Chain A
Amino acid sequence: MKQEYADIIHRCFRCGWCKLPTNYQDFNCPAYLKYRFETFSSGGRMWLLRAWLNGDITTSERLQQIFFSCVTCKNCVEACALPHIKDKLVDIFIAAREDLVEKSAVPPPVRDYLKAMSISGNPYKKPQAERGTWAEGLDIPKYTDQEYLFFVGDVGSYDEVGMKMARSVATLLSDTGVSFGILGEDETSDGNDVKALGEAGLYEHLAKQNIGILNERGVKKIITLSPHGYNAIKNEYPEAGGNFEVYHYTQVLGLMMNDTMPKGTLNAKVTFHDPCYLGRWNDEYWAPRFALGSIPGIELAEMDRNMKNALCCGGGGGNFFTDILGTGKDSAAQVRVSEAVETGAEILAVACPLCYKMLDDAVKAEDLGEKIRVMDVAEIVNESRK
């Protein structure tokens, strides 16, 4: 544990502000919401970490579960009452995971994920050659000297829902007149969630590999499908020597090229779910709303917990792959889709492939398919054009 962190962990008062959004309506920390023991709140984690570092508790499976259930959503960072520790809370939890990873004391799903990432370069244990298959039939060029590189990431490359989303985004970017290409089978995992799970060495390896390819191809500007990749490339890569101009695709559609984005009319009430890695991590709340709001006929309805207060889908911090939090009535995704239904919206808009799958599964689990469907921002724009 970095000295900088070790020096401040005792400064958490465990006052519990971290559990709530700023409007107090309900628990907003997915791990606490699910488990309800004080140990699973950010404050509990801080105190346990101190006890662990002091040798008052041992490296048990429960401790691993507690640390790896954090979804790194940063609600606690937003809500914490103590200015001198709040910004570092999630960094501290990630540092604790690094310590656990170093001791090989991680829950089996985390071990399996990291193993797959290390061996296959993706969590799905699929061949690297299949990375570009999502784009088949779309006539998307390989990146040569286009203005932008479209970076798709693991979920967009291999997951069925993610691939669907990648296709709709690519189609729309293309129709908007964005000059871009893809790396296809040459793309490497962005490593964002590997880092969040505490495997710093593997993350560095992935980041360096990626940066090497990107620099070799002369990439200057990047559009990402996933807010997770956006976060890694924007905030982490510079430290590893990768300096790129990076945008999330909703920034291109909502801010930079909204005028040329083709749109029809869609008469629908839509509520937008803020992805943590776009919102709280990168302070981008308006771009996706602008993109949606520019479509005639769309009525945007906000959930009570929105923007800085949004409840995470539960898929952050690697949990999308490890599923430590699991499903159930108190799982963040299931609570979130019910909240979306309360707005009266028939579409729950997402801007992240992880949120997409998490919430889509939750709609099924809650049997809300008749009331609401999950769609990504680009898919909604495309639907308006039909």
Chain B
Amino acid sequence: MDTIYKKIADIVGSNYVSNAAEELYIYSRDQGVQPARLPDYVVMPNSTEEVQKIVALANKEKIPIVPMGGALVLSGLTIPQRGGIVLDMKRMNRILEVNEKSHYAVVEAGTSQGMLQAYLKKHHPKLKHSVPDAPPVATIGGNIAIHGSGHLSQSEGGFHTEMVTGLEVVLASGEAVKLGSCSTVPKWFSRAPIPDLAGLFMGWNGTTGVITKIGLKLFPSPKLKDVMMFMTEDVDSITDILFRIIDTEMAEDIAFFVSPKPAYFEGYQLIMISVVANSEKEMKLRLELIRESVREYIDSKEAGFLPLPPYMKVKLVGAPQKNLSEFADVMKGGGFEYVGAIMPVESIPEAYRAGLEITSKHDITYSMGARIVGRGSCVMFYYAYPFNRADSKNIETVAKALEETNEKALEIGGIPWKTEISGQQLILERMEPGTYKMMTEIRKLLDPNGIMNPGNWEVQS
């Protein structure tokens, strides 16, 4: 019998390790267009201690290890590039603490966004956390490892990683370390004032360690929700319109989008503004201030708020929105992948035109848009391309379009987010040598045997 398998089974129990063809098949691929690569084992730990033992074993045996959350990244970041162990973290889904008085929660990394959402709704209805647009099975840990952002984008913070108050991480050596206030006192309220080491694990795609616990900021959850949709057909006015709305500081979330389908939206730009309030009076005021901020555009008749029927509002105030997953079926083929490029707000018109050009060149359909992250320093501009999983030519075309989009995003001054291995190469090519050198040295220090999600964030020879 495979001795590694046996050793892993001794740690997690034989029910939670597999090297069966079926698990290897599923864990070798994700929903996007990146090529599959088989792992050797799929392992599901149940505690930090188990993670420590598995990582220590992998380190000793020099077996690559790829932490995986909801497996919804779409860009192949949990596909084990050099085989080894895929560490499915979803059994570690305990909500350890909700500190209602200090507005933070501590959860195990495999906790799903939906589960935390449901838990807060039931037990702490006045509080919520920022959820990404991903389906609710996406995990808190996975989202932090890739610098996610979400529906409370306008709250202080912006990126979800900026809402992290502390981490527990298992290093390649098998040691577990706490980062943030929790390292010094038994509370998870802040990463300051001590040296901020948490950044060594956020946005690293699991190449520096396995995140096992997270402290997360919570935000008020006012009971009234409304949504506004502002429509224009002049993309060059978008930046100005967005800033007028952002600067009111009245919105909870602001997102811009364009879509050729349905046909009555083609050629128009829409801005969705989510507003919450504790009373009708407050809601009225918030809506009024937002409307006033764009009064000039309304009076010019060149733009305006689209009246939304109640059934549509009900769909739009929810987070995450289920119909986003429906985009996967646009080509009747169960797939889509997107380039999500982080870029300055001012780049939106250029980014939009680039998207139109690329999609027209490859004759593919799309959905494009941008979520404003924070109070407007940047956006996550997405170019989403659906494809037909059963049509390999179509997959190839979309893969090419994605690559070109990555290049274009960098060219116009953006940086692709949670990007594919090939996109990472494009970033590293442009990165200052000193920065890359520092990244490499840090990794050598933390992971001398190079077992942590190898292939990611490294220049390919």
Given A13-B334, A24-B112, A83-B326, list of 9 further CB < 8 A pairs? A17-B136, A17-B322, A20-B114, A23-B118, A37-B44, A38-B88, A62-B21, A66-B22, A304-B122
| Residues of B contacting A66 in the complex (Cβ-Cβ under 8 angstroms) | 22
> Are B25 and A48 touching (Cβ within 8 A)?
yes
Taken together as a complex, chains A and B put the C-alpha atoms of A39 and B137 apart, in Å, by: 15
> Could you tell me the distance in whole angstroms from the C-beta of A148 to the nearest C-beta in chain B?
42
| Chain A 10-36 interface mask (CB, 8 Å, partner B; 1/0) | 111111110110011110000000011
| Chain B 127-150 interface mask (CB, 8 Å, partner A; 1/0) | 000000001111000000000000
> Could you tell me the distance in whole angstroms from the C-beta of A332 to the nearest C-beta in chain B?
16
| Residues of B contacting A23 in the complex (Cβ-Cβ under 8 angstroms) | 118, 121
A51 contacts B by Cβ under 8 Å: yes
B367 contacts A by Cβ under 8 Å: no
> Are A10 and B22 touching (Cβ within 8 A)?
no
Q: Which of B12-20, B152-160, B273-281, B450-458 contacts A (4 or more CB under 8 A)?
A: B12-20
| Residues of A contacting B333 in the complex (Cβ-Cβ under 8 angstroms) | 10-11
> Could you tell me the distance in whole angstroms from the C-beta of B64 to the nearest C-beta in chain A?
19
| Residues of B contacting A82 in the complex (Cβ-Cβ under 8 angstroms) | 325-326, 328-329, 334
B115 contacts A by Cβ under 8 Å: yes
| Residues of B contacting A63 in the complex (Cβ-Cβ under 8 angstroms) | 22
> Are B389 and A11 touching (Cβ within 8 A)?
yes
Partner of B135, one of A17, A25, A60: A17
> Are A60 and B325 touching (Cβ within 8 A)?
no
Taken together as a complex, chains A and B put the C-alpha atoms of A63 and B90 apart, in Å, by: 22
- Contact A25:B118 (CB < 8 A) given known A10-B389, A15-B325, A57-B22: yes
At the interface, is chain A mostly helix, strand, loop or mixed? loop
| Residues of A contacting B135 in the complex (Cβ-Cβ under 8 angstroms) | 15-17, 81
> Are A37 and B115 touching (Cβ within 8 A)?
no
| Residues of A contacting B121 in the complex (Cβ-Cβ under 8 angstroms) | 23
Of all A-B residue pairs in the complex, the 8 with the closest CB atoms, nearest first, are A24-B114, A16-B137, A81-B325, A13-B328, A25-B118, A11-B334, A10-B390, A62-B20
> Are B31 and A15 touching (Cβ within 8 A)?
yes
| Number of inter-chain CB pairs below 8 Å | 116
> Are B25 and A56 touching (Cβ within 8 A)?
yes
> Are B332 and A13 touching (Cβ within 8 A)?
no
Taken together as a complex, chains A and B put the C-alpha atoms of A121 and B44 apart, in Å, by: 42
| Chain A 72-99 interface mask (CB, 8 Å, partner B; 1/0) | 0000000001111100000000000000
B435 contacts A by Cβ under 8 Å: no
| Residues of A contacting B138 in the complex (Cβ-Cβ under 8 angstroms) | 16
> Are B18 and A37 touching (Cβ within 8 A)?
yes
> Could you tell me the distance in whole angstroms from the C-beta of A88 to the nearest C-beta in chain B?
13
Partner of A44, one of B16, B26, B119, B332: B26
Using CB atoms, name the residue of chain A closest to B386.
Answer: A13
> Could you tell me the distance in whole angstroms from the C-beta of A24 to the nearest C-beta in chain B?
3
| Residues of B contacting A35 in the complex (Cβ-Cβ under 8 angstroms) | 15
Using CB atoms, name the residue of chain A closest to B36.
Answer: A56
| Residues of A contacting B388 in the complex (Cβ-Cβ under 8 angstroms) | 10
| Residues of A contacting B25 in the complex (Cβ-Cβ under 8 angstroms) | 47-48, 51, 56-57
Taken together as a complex, chains A and B put the C-alpha atoms of A38 and B323 apart, in Å, by: 22
> Are B115 and A81 touching (Cβ within 8 A)?
no
> Are B390 and A60 touching (Cβ within 8 A)?
no
| Residues of A contacting B334 in the complex (Cβ-Cβ under 8 angstroms) | 10-14, 82
Taken together as a complex, chains A and B put the C-alpha atoms of A95 and B263 apart, in Å, by: 38
> Could you tell me the distance in whole angstroms from the C-beta of A57 to the nearest C-beta in chain B?
5
A120 contacts B by Cβ under 8 Å: no
> Could you tell me the distance in whole angstroms from the C-beta of A342 to the nearest C-beta in chain B?
11
Kindly name the residue among B21, B25, B135, B388 whose own CB sees the greatest number of chain A CB atoms within 10 A.
B135
